[in-house]
């Protein structure tokens, strides 16, 4: 079994690479390293089953030899990325997905699209089932990511219907864990970094907006189960444990043992007020449920970021 993972040097992509290797796959990683890092694959250096290609999926993809599965995990994915790389985000979701699907078609490979809860926008229903069409501002600051992922899902289904490509769509809700970028701009890295450094923890808005934080190992388990299943409709992967941003900030402060204070900044435009997945499909079709308590995942994530800050000389060992 040989799999291609686009974005395989990123946070989730690199954990997927680990899982595939553990399942006996040979893996080809394609990544342009804009937001990914070779550090995430350094523990695999010298493994003959892993091949790394530095490249951008917005360019034509060439992989020699047979390919059984294409996992399309390539895209900048944080709010800061939406501001810094808006065109690259849209190219990854649009042209990049087209190229990845073309590779799957040419190789007769199965294809998985790593999508997101952002396709639901600022939802008007909760929890969000896969049948919900969403409430998205097509010209707002998050649109480059939201609409790119919505387009990529449509393109995935088009290749399924027009070309018979065997496709999967996984919609990730908020996912966290080791290998996230320290200056990612998302909630977990922001809060943990600020708490470890004793800096004020910044909440945008009043903190009443909710998120459902899933640990990476649970999400990758869902990805693998979906990959080996025959199910082709979108599947939500996330935890139904819903917390306000304020509650999560308080949990981080407690876990770190920090003296950080919480400060409130103006709310971000189009920031979703509520995020909670309906995971009925994942449970009934894949037999999947998250098993890692948020406190356990948070402790491991804190230690990862603590190590990064020590390496940078911002914390003492």
Domain regions of the chain by residue span: 2-176+214-237, 187-210+241-275+293-311
Q: Is beta strand 242-244 parallel, antiparallel or unpaired with respect to 210-212? A: antiparallel
Residues 145 and 77 sit within 8 Å (Cβ to Cβ): yes
CATH placement of domain 187-210+241-275+293-311: 3.90.25.10
Cis status, amide bond into 127, omega within 30 of 0 = yes
Active-site residue, from 145, 215, 216, 224: 145
Tokens of 222: 């869902």
CATH placement of domain 2-176+214-237: 3.40.50.720
Tokens of 241: 């444990």
Residue with tokens 């920090």: 258
Residues 27 and 5 sit within 8 Å (Cβ to Cβ): yes
Q: Please, is 80 exposed, middle or buried when counting C-beta atoms within 10 Å of its C-beta (0-12, 13-18, 19+)?
A: middle
CB count in 10 Å sphere of residue 266: 7
Exposed e or buried b for every residue in 268-307, given b needs 16+ CB within 10 A?
Answer: eebebebbbbbbebbeeebebebebebeebbeebbeebbe
pLDDT at 77: 95
Tell me the C-alpha distance between 175 and 169, whole Å: 16
Tell me the C-alpha distance between 168 and 84, whole Å: 29
Tokens of 162: 């027009």
Say how many CA atoms lie within 13 Å of 22 toward its Cβ: 9
pLDDT at 6: 98
* Regions of the chain with pLDDT less than 50: none
> What stretches of 153-200 adopt beta strand conformation (E)?
167-172, 175-176
pLDDT at 159: 98
| CA-based nearest residue to 298, from 260, 262, 252 | 252
pLDDT at 308: 96
pLDDT at 317: 79
| CA-based nearest residue to 74, from 114, 26, 111 | 114
Tell me the C-alpha distance between 280 and 39, whole Å: 36
Active site residue 120: no
């Amino acid at each position: 079994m040989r799999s291609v993972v686009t974005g395989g040097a990123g946070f989730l992509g690199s954990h997927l690479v680990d899982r595939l290797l553990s399942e006996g796959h040979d893996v080809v990683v394609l990544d342009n390293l804009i937001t990914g890092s070779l550090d995430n694959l350094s523990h695999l250096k010298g493994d003959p089953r892993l091949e790394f290609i530095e490249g951008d999926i917005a360019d034509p993809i060439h992989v020699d030899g047979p390919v059984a599965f294409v996992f399309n995990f390539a895209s900048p994915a944080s709010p800061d990325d939406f501001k810094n790389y808006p065109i690259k985000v849209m190219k990854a979701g649009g042209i990049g997905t087209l190229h990845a699907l073309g590779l799957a078609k040419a190789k007769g490979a199965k294809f998985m699209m790593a999508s997101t809860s952002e396709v639901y926008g600022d939802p008007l229903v909760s929890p969000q089932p896969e049948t919900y069409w969403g409430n998205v501002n097509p010209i707002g600051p998050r649109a480059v990511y939201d609409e790119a992922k919505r387009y990529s899902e449509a393109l995935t289904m088009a290749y399924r219907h027009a070309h018979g490509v065997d496709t999967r769509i996984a919609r990730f809700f908020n996912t966290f864990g080791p290998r996230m970028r320290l200056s990612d701009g998302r909630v977990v890295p922001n809060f943990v970094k600020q708490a470890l450094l004793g800096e004020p923890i910044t909440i945008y808005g009043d903190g009443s907006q909710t998120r459902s934080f899933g640990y990476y190992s649970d999400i990758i388990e869902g990805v693998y189960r979906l990959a080996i299943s025959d199910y082709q409709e979108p599947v939500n992967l996330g935890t139904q444990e819903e917390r306000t941003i304020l509650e999560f900030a308080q949990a981080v402060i407690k876990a770190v043992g920090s003296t950080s204070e919480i400060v409130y900044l103006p709310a971000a435009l189009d920031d979703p007020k509520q995020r909670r997945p309906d995971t009925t499909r994942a449970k009934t079709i894949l037999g999947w449920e998250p098993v890692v308590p948020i406190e356990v995942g948070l402790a491991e994530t804190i230690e990862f970021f603590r190590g990064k800050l020590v390496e940078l000389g911002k914390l003492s060992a």
